[in-house]
Amino acid sequence: MTNTRTITAPALLALALFGSAAHAALVPPQGYYAGIEQIKTTDGKFQCEAAPKPYTGALQFRSKYEGSDKARATLNLASEKAFRSSTQDITTLERGISKMVGQYMRDGRPAQLDCALSWLGTWARADALMSTDYNHTGKSMRKWALGSMSGSWLRLKFSNSQPLAAHQAEAELIEKWFARLAEQTVRDWSDLPLEKINNHSYWAAWSVMATAVATDRRDLFDWAVKEYKVGANQIDEQGFLPNELKRKQRALAYHNYALPPLAMIASFAQVNGVDLRGENNNALQRLGQKVLAGAKDPSAFKRRNGEKQDMKDLKVDSKYSWLEPYCSLYACNGDTLQRKRGMQPFDSFRLGGNLTRVYDPSAESKK
């Protein structure tokens, strides 16, 4: 029997004011607790490459749609090349961390973990990506990178194998940097007019949600939930996103691109006691169904915005990574389930790696 007299007065006051929820640490979906699959004692052929140079300059980058009209749908090959060149170190970090964490969770080789921590620690010490001199493309790169890194970090942070137990000082350094990046991301993407809120805001909210759980920051969690609700309430009765319809021939591709961050946020909110599935009359489900139908027959999108749709992205399996968290929220069966299984495993570095291993590990193990 509990002796209530051992509870201090301040603790009782906190319970009275905030309830037990105030003490509940934020957690990720169950799959993030998975341990290392098979610990290998040798380092094999793994070699830790030098960390990409920390990016500490102004986040002013050319857009790959430079010179395009308001639809931002026509690729400018010259500016895309310039963009990829100037952001190469950032993307190398994102992809490298995702790959090394994935390898480590599969093989358990210490060199893989050490290398990932070295890369992240190098950038954290440099306070990289924190410039307040940025344009739209620059602040977009910041939030994409944060989502990639925090998404991967969650697999280390919560794994039952406790890979970070022997690296607590380094982990604290890295997580404090993630938190600073998330705080800046909140500043970057808050209070936008509704006509400016699109997939970028959803991706910003995902990066903040992943960081909220990684650093146990309820304020960041609440901001991500708030931004999700704005996004869900943009979805109309037919399942369209008005601001993505403006993307002309790429409207369907951008509806599909809006789904991964929204589905991940809803999944993370769910396990922390916030059920977002019913927001705006099951808006997320409507959007998912509209995109899946459009991938088979895009004519509804052409009827809505008058443009024949560019289907290139819709033929890439990894672009449907949102199906993993989505099918953890809604019952996927029949054709949807068959399509998901046919495209697995889903691996998205911007979402932290192999999502099939997180959400549907029995399917992943069969591949």
312 annotated among ligand-binding-site residues: no
Give the Å distances, CA to CA, from 214 to 113, 151, 205, 346, 359. Answer: 17, 8, 14, 22, 18
| Residue 82, Cβ density class (10 Å: 0-12 exposed, 13-18 middle, ≥19 buried) | middle
CB pairs under 8 A, 24+ apart, for 84-93?
86/61, 86/62, 87/55, 87/61, 87/141, 88/52, 89/52, 89/53, 89/54, 89/55, 90/52, 90/55, 90/129, 90/141, 90/145, 92/52, 93/51, 93/52, 93/119, 93/123, 93/145, 93/149
> C-alpha 175: how far from its chain's center?
16
167 annotated among ligand-binding-site residues: no
C-beta separation of 322 from 265 below 8 A: no
23 annotated among ligand-binding-site residues: no
68 annotated among ligand-binding-site residues: no
List the structure tokens of 298: 């895009």
362 annotated among ligand-binding-site residues: no
List the structure tokens of 141: 């790169």
C-beta separation of 305 from 245 below 8 A: yes
- The dihedral region occupied by 107, where left means phi > 0, alpha psi between -120 and 50, and beta the remainder, is alpha
Q: Which positions make up the binding site for substrate?
A: 63-64, 136-137, 254
Q: Which positions make up the binding site?
A: 63-64, 136-137, 254
